[in-house]
Structure 1
Amino acid sequence: MDLQINFVLPHWFYWSVLLVLPLVVMLFVDRSFRRGGTVSGATTGGAPAAEQDTDYHPPGNALTRVIDKVSGFTGRYVAYWSLIAPLVYCYEVFVRYALNSPTNWAHESMFLMFGMQYLLAGAFALREGGHVRVDILYVRAKPLTKAALDIMTSVFFFIFTVALITTGWTFFSQSVNQEIFFFGQGYANETSFTEWSVQYYPVKFTLVLGGVLLLLQGIAQLIKDIQAFGHARARHEGSSTFAWLLVLLGIVLALYALHEVVNVVVNDYESFPLSIENSLANVSIGTLTALMFGTLMLVLVAGLPLAFVTGGLGVVFLYLVGDQFMLNLIPSRIFPMMTNYQLSAIPLFIFMAAVLEKAGLIEELFDTVYKWMGGLKAGLAIATVVASTLLAAMVGVIGAAVVTMGLIALPAMLKRHYDPEIAIGSIMAGGTLGILIPPSILAIIYGVVAQQSVGELYLGSLIPGLLLAAMYGFYCWLRGAINPKAAPPLPVEDRVSTREKLRLLRNMLAPIILVIVVLGVIFTGLATPVEAAGIGTFGALIVSAMHGRLTWPNLHAACMTTLVATAMVMWIIFGATIFVGFYILQGGQEFVQELISGAGLGPYGVLMVMMVLLVALGMFLDWVGILLLAVPIFVPLIQPLSFDGLFGLPGVDAANVSLWFGVIYLVNMQMSFLSPPFGYALFYIKGVCPPHITMAQIFKSSLPFLGIQALGLLLVILFPALITYLPNLVYR
């Protein structure tokens, strides 16, 4: 059929939908809650559950309550935009293949919408505690020390947000229509380069508005931190001397930052006495490397969320090495990321997972696999790995997979007297399969950063992911065979007939077909990963409706879960792209390359150094932070190297090196999640474990599976065809 529909979405209709639709959805959601509507399933987040002091919650004041309400309303408002994307992408795929009428406006309207959503959601994520912090020392500090650290490190947060607002305003003002607005010289009504020609200034304005909302929420948080400090000091919960030193340091840093702000406002080409502007202009790249990454580690362990650590330090070093005009790099680094087409798959896949979870399909999935495989030795642990593999194909988010399986599978195994180490280890290892099994969120971000095809990464990671799942399952079976008491099979009286098994399997046909369709359209090239995510989300809504769970409360919960998880990921990207982008601009990439090549290591030696560094980073950094900090430096170093094979085994074709390294990186990230003492999966599972399960037991349970992951990493290095076979078969 070739009807050639030439419909182009009117600009006024696009902006009207974004403005009005959330208000309409709010009316339906609130009405449903007033009539007794409830949320199905459990809420699973993407951030690890930190051990927090729950005895005291700062009350805030009238100002903080107003700010919290503003952030809450704004977050909820933009969260409902996610409901639009599945419809738009399904429309695009339909008109392209059924009517031979592809569009540009469908893609452009959605990645611009998501870009605005990321920026405006930052304040809501901060209010909800959704921004990931590195809890190495912070979580172990006394309440007084914690509050003092929060006050002191907030200086870097405010440096980042103020710089974002001021440079974002300049960035925005250069894109407006000068006949309507009065901002001096700029582009005359800057529009996109497609036939849709949508105005860019509303999108760029969200850099300013998002920064203002984040600044306000930061002020509210600072007020609460001061209240927490006063409460802890009155109760003598920590060293008062050390805490006051931290607060004093924060005050000094804040005053000096204010001094520099006045310097920027008053002076253009000259600086005040004692100003630090341009003070590091002549330092060597080696010294700059030590300063940048040394201060990064210090502020990280102090507990500031990763996004604001990298963003704040990026601003500081832009100012120290360059000058105030170099700060305009900030929006020019963030804007391409917030409007990146590939990254818009992230909220869609998270939304798909949230909808399926609210539909109760995750619990049904485990129940089906559990009854099919429970009769085997260590059957419940094997069922957990199998269910985690299928869940990974639905979710692609590590935290959600580990927490969900911890809530469902762990009580079932402990009830049947499983060794806690086998039970916990199988959940953590199975949950981390979401890094490898498509549709992996990490693979999407890697593809964007490394300029690698996401479809090829998905195909390349499929065999390694299934191989690791099989190795996990075999290990569980072996432990059950050696010691049946440690992992007993399901009692005979609890097993079900073949007829019942088939009935259970029939209930899972819809979600299984959904996964096959999503991955199928990606692997066959019929749709991009972003379009596949849109189709999958639309399918998830249909499956949810089939199960009677497509309710307004469930849609609300899915939208809010998606918003917090996506904002966490994207704000880390925004902060890291400033920090790493500046470092590379200063010659950091060449410095690291010369440092490694000067060590006289061969290609595999260089690869080994990178693997060790990634595992080390994984002990205290989250997966997005590692990717944004390491991959832009590592990929250009690895691409020109020749990997001819080890021990006489086949090597890697030069055209496949980037793909091969990408999947090796993904396997390595699985190890980082399980690496004691700070692997994130260890804390995900701790948040859902019974109180009698100690961190020592969790650490011990991770070690065998960590060894299996190391073996898997070795296998994909020695046998590159495990990665390259499927992509070469489909794409070459």
Structure 2
Amino acid sequence: MNFEINFVLPHWLYWSVLGLLPLVVMFFVNRSFRLGGKVDGGDIAEIPAGQEVAATYHPPGNLFTRLADGVSGFAGRYVAYWALIAPFIFAYEVLVRYAFNSPTNWVHESMTLMFGMQYLLAGAYALREGGHVRVDILYTRAKPVNKAALDIMTSVFFFIFTLALLTTGWTFFSQSVSDAYFFGSSYSNETSFTEWAIQFYPVKFMMFFGGLLLLLQGIAQLVRDIQAYRHERQATPNNPAGFAKALIWLAIVVGSWTLFEIANIVLTDYDSLPFSLENSLGQVGIGGLTLVMFGSLMMVLVAGLPLAFVTGGLGVVFLYLVGDQNMLNLIPSRIFPMMTNYQLSAIPLFIFMASVLEKAGIIEELFDVVYKWMGGLKAGLAIATIIASTLLAAMVGVIGAAVVTMGLIALPAMLKRNYDPEIAIGSIMAGGTLGILIPPSILAIIYGVIAQQSVGELYLGSLIPGLMLAFMYGFYCWMRGTLNIKMAPPMPVEDRVDMTEKLRLLRNMLAPIVLVVLVLGIIFTGIATPVEAAGIGTFGALIVAAMHRRLTWANLHAACMTTLVASAMVMWIIFGASIFVGFYILQGGQTFVQDLIAGAGLGPYAVLALMMVLLVALGMFLDWVGILLLAVPIFVPLIKGMTFSGVFGLPGVDPADVSLWFGVIYLVNMQMSFLSPPFGYALFYIKGVCPPHITMAQIFRSSLPFLALQALGLLLVIMFPALVTWLPNLAYG
């Protein structure tokens, strides 16, 4: 009997659901809060808690800023609730595929386009909430008046990027609309190339509309920055502020010149106005261009502008200075493929899964269970923290989530039991970084997209190195506790529980453990793609939350908003960096770097070592997404062309496995970047949840032993490639 289901989602129904469902959810969420609903759990968004210094003055804004905040808030909340659709749609796809032999295309395409639109419209909300990551090397140490002046000066690059996105996005949109209804000139009602044939113009319109929302929110932010600058100047009239004044004058000059260049674009087609900088760097060689591009990148980064707008703004500047105004149309052509990349849809899904589980109280229960099982060992609490972090990484794949969450839960428990602060803090930071390696790692997803590497193979290849590092962390803690019991004492006898109680506690964790096995199992066996697995995992997380009686409208709202800010942060960095790096590669930068390294006469392993050093150095300053998008497109083609025959007589790497092997090496290296003083991100994650008496010097010292273990793990993975390749070759042949 044939049970095939041939349902194809009508276009009108798709747009109706996206349009009306958020309004329905808003009604129930608002009703829940009016009736006293509260959000359970904490916040595991990617923003490092406490990384920003609390401001002593909050600019009041004005009517425009309040309107802009309201528009951004409504738009963000509206699209955040779209995340509720995906778990059910992906569960439907897997069901009809295997139960009724009726696979679909419209499921994947509809969710990919939905998340692509969400990324664009969420940028303004993330800006309002301070969700865009900034490299605040000098920014946080500046005086308040200098900080306000830096915000005003660097905003010029933000507006350059936003205005370019706005104008080119409008052109990109208008070309996809039918001539019968609008003024499209290149295409007639452009549709996707699948049998679903959905219209692309609403999706492309979001590029323009997202830029418009971002522009409004940016103007509101500029108003508040000006108010902050005036306040700080008036608060300290006798304090010299020459540097701040210089920054303001620099902002005026650069801003005025930007307006002049905008006039040049509006008024001319082929000939530039006198004194215009259009194509002024057109004759600069790739060597000089490399110095100018990356030198200016570092200068603007340390000034405190969010990474997404640094790379995006500078990318626009160099498109114009090296090329001309027509080259600005490269912007939407770089962003749209990232918007509509199917693999990247796993990012918001895994973040949503993490947030739902956290609101359900699973993470606290997980730590409690592991602690009761392991607490009797020397350094048992530190070992329990590492094991819980490993399991947490397998549940969520969200970088930074384990550091913040375990810092809130495990650090007070360890300090209360007289653990040495450096052992306590180090175990939390090292365990938290396992989210980079242990599947389902979000970093592995982005690497797979950029390097054209199978995400499933990366997951399998990183599993053994991840578990190996977790064991090394735990063994180190045990050794320190054994050699000096006062540094990491075991659980007091009166707090220990018998085996019956341990089994009862383990039973409470059965549902989340089954969820982890389900998600990873369907990825490793090839039953479903990582995106589908993320969707099913999120569906399972909703069921687990319901079982724990935490599936409330208030918790769903909090999970959706956390997901929105975290995924917007990641995706906007991808958008900005893809413009900057894409232009550099287009100018021959990739070939230049490859020739530079090849000309040094280094062997394959020496080149690999040089890359590792560069990645660690970048990790001291840059965000993990920025490092990936800046380095991987240049490094991977170079590595693929090399032969790694082994060191010290050990087996080498099969040429077919080089890309996979390097990918896992890269992931292990990124663990090191998170712990590398002085600006490793894990150091600031943990600082935000530490008691006031814990100094940054203590945090730095606590990271060093675990950083050495990570370096040892990196060396082992390089020397013994089978640690990476054995499991994928066993599974896939």
The answer to whether the superposition gives a TM-score over 0.5 is: yes
- List gaps (5 residues or longer) in structure 2: none
Match of 2:553 in 1: 552
Counterparts of 1:371 and 1:239, CA distance in 2? 58
Scaled by the length of structure 1, what TM-score is found?
Answer: 0.99
Counterparts of 1:723 and 1:82, CA distance in 2? 34
Q: Give the alignment of 1:66-77 within 5 angstroms.
A: 66-77=67-78
Q: What are the superposed Cα offsets for residues 510-530 of structure 1, whole Å, 9 maximum, x if unpaired?
A: 000000000000000000000
Letter in 2 for 1:582: F
Counterparts of 1:44 and 1:689, CA distance in 2? 16
Match of 1:231 in 2: 231
Match of 2:186 in 1: 186
Letter in 1 for 2:355: A
Match of 2:344 in 1: 343
Q: In the alignment, does 2:34 pair up with 1:14?
A: no
Q: In the alignment, does 2:116 pair up with 1:97?
A: no
Counterparts of 1:420 and 1:78, CA distance in 2? 42
Letter in 2 for 1:35: L
Counterparts of 1:192 and 1:660, CA distance in 2? 35
Q: In the alignment, does 2:118 pair up with 1:117?
A: yes
Counterparts of 2:182 and 2:3, CA distance in 1? 42
Letter in 2 for 1:187: Y
Q: In the alignment, does 2:662 pair up with 1:657?
A: no
Match of 2:215 in 1: 215
Match of 1:686 in 2: 687
Match of 2:23 in 1: 23
Q: What are the superposed Cα offsets for residues 208-258 of structure 1, whole Å, 9 maximum, x if unpaired?
A: 000000000000000000011011111229641110100100110000000
Whether contact under 8 Å (1:155, 1:253) holds in the other structure is yes
Q: What are the superposed Cα offsets for residues 260-284 of structure 1, whole Å, 9 maximum, x if unpaired?
A: 0000000000001110001111110
Match of 2:613 in 1: 612
TM-fit CA distance, 1:401: 1.2
Match of 2:324 in 1: 323
**Compared CA separation, residues 239 and 462, structure 1 to 2 (3 A):** farther
Counterparts of 1:317 and 1:387, CA distance in 2? 46
Whether contact under 8 Å (1:144, 1:239) holds in the other structure is no
Q: Give the alignment of 1:15-414 within 5 angstroms.
A: 15-48=15-48, 49-183=50-184, 185-236=185-236, 239-414=240-415
Match of 1:643 in 2: 644
Counterparts of 1:239 and 1:661, CA distance in 2? 52
Q: Give the alignment of 1:433-472 within 5 angstroms.
A: 433-472=434-473
**Compared CA separation, residues 375 and 265, structure 1 to 2 (3 A):** same
Whether contact under 8 Å (1:192, 1:199) holds in the other structure is yes
Counterparts of 1:577 and 1:122, CA distance in 2? 16
Counterparts of 2:396 and 2:506, CA distance in 1? 20
Counterparts of 1:180 and 1:600, CA distance in 2? 61
Whether contact under 8 Å (1:349, 1:537) holds in the other structure is yes
- State the percentage of identical aligned residues: 79
Letter in 2 for 1:618: G
Counterparts of 1:4 and 1:502, CA distance in 2? 44
Letter in 1 for 2:579: I
Q: What are the superposed Cα offsets for residues 695-730 of structure 1, whole Å, 9 maximum, x if unpaired?
A: 000000000000000000000000000000000001
Match of 1:667 in 2: 668
Q: Give the alignment of 1:496-511 within 5 angstroms.
A: 496-511=497-512
Counterparts of 1:58 and 1:691, CA distance in 2? 27
**Compared CA separation, residues 605 and 313, structure 1 to 2 (3 A):** same
Whether contact under 8 Å (1:391, 1:401) holds in the other structure is yes
Q: What secondary structure, in the 3-state scheme, does the structure 1 residue paired with 2:439 have?
A: coil
TM-fit CA distance, 1:186: 2.4
Letter in 1 for 2:40: S
Counterparts of 1:587 and 1:548, CA distance in 2? 57
Counterparts of 1:595 and 1:630, CA distance in 2? 15
Letter in 1 for 2:46: G
TM-fit CA distance, 1:381: 0.1
TM-fit CA distance, 1:2: 4.2
Counterparts of 1:698 and 1:208, CA distance in 2? 44
Q: What secondary structure, in the 3-state scheme, does the structure 2 residue paired with 1:269 have?
A: coil
Counterparts of 2:488 and 2:300, CA distance in 1? 44
TM-fit CA distance, 1:198: 0.3
TM-fit CA distance, 1:397: 1.2
Letter in 2 for 1:223: V
Q: What are the superposed Cα offsets for residues 365-406 of structure 1, whole Å, 9 maximum, x if unpaired?
A: 000000100000000000000000000001111221110000
Q: What secondary structure, in the 3-state scheme, does the structure 2 residue paired with 1:397 have?
A: coil
Whether contact under 8 Å (1:145, 1:239) holds in the other structure is no
Q: What secondary structure, in the 3-state scheme, does the structure 2 residue paired with 1:614 have?
A: helix
Counterparts of 1:381 and 1:346, CA distance in 2? 29
Letter in 2 for 1:663: V
Counterparts of 2:659 and 2:482, CA distance in 1? 41
Q: What secondary structure, in the 3-state scheme, does the structure 1 residue paired with 2:275 have?
A: coil
Counterparts of 2:649 and 2:58, CA distance in 1? 62
TM-fit CA distance, 1:53: 3.9
Whether contact under 8 Å (1:381, 1:476) holds in the other structure is yes
Match of 2:520 in 1: 519
Counterparts of 2:51 and 2:148, CA distance in 1? 15
Q: What secondary structure, in the 3-state scheme, does the structure 1 residue paired with 2:6 have?
A: coil
Counterparts of 1:531 and 1:308, CA distance in 2? 31
Q: What secondary structure, in the 3-state scheme, does the structure 1 residue paired with 2:400 have?
A: helix
Match of 1:570 in 2: 571
Counterparts of 1:51 and 1:122, CA distance in 2? 19
Counterparts of 2:203 and 2:54, CA distance in 1? 39
Counterparts of 1:513 and 1:2, CA distance in 2? 32
Q: What secondary structure, in the 3-state scheme, does the structure 1 residue paired with 2:414 have?
A: helix
TM-fit CA distance, 1:122: 0.0
Q: What secondary structure, in the 3-state scheme, does the structure 2 residue paired with 1:156 have?
A: helix
TM-fit CA distance, 1:54: 2.4
Letter in 2 for 1:122: G
Counterparts of 2:131 and 2:119, CA distance in 1? 13
Match of 2:541 in 1: 540
Letter in 2 for 1:382: I
Counterparts of 1:667 and 1:221, CA distance in 2? 38
Q: What are the superposed Cα offsets for residues 172-216 of structure 1, whole Å, 9 maximum, x if unpaired?
A: 000001101134x22100000100000000000000000000000
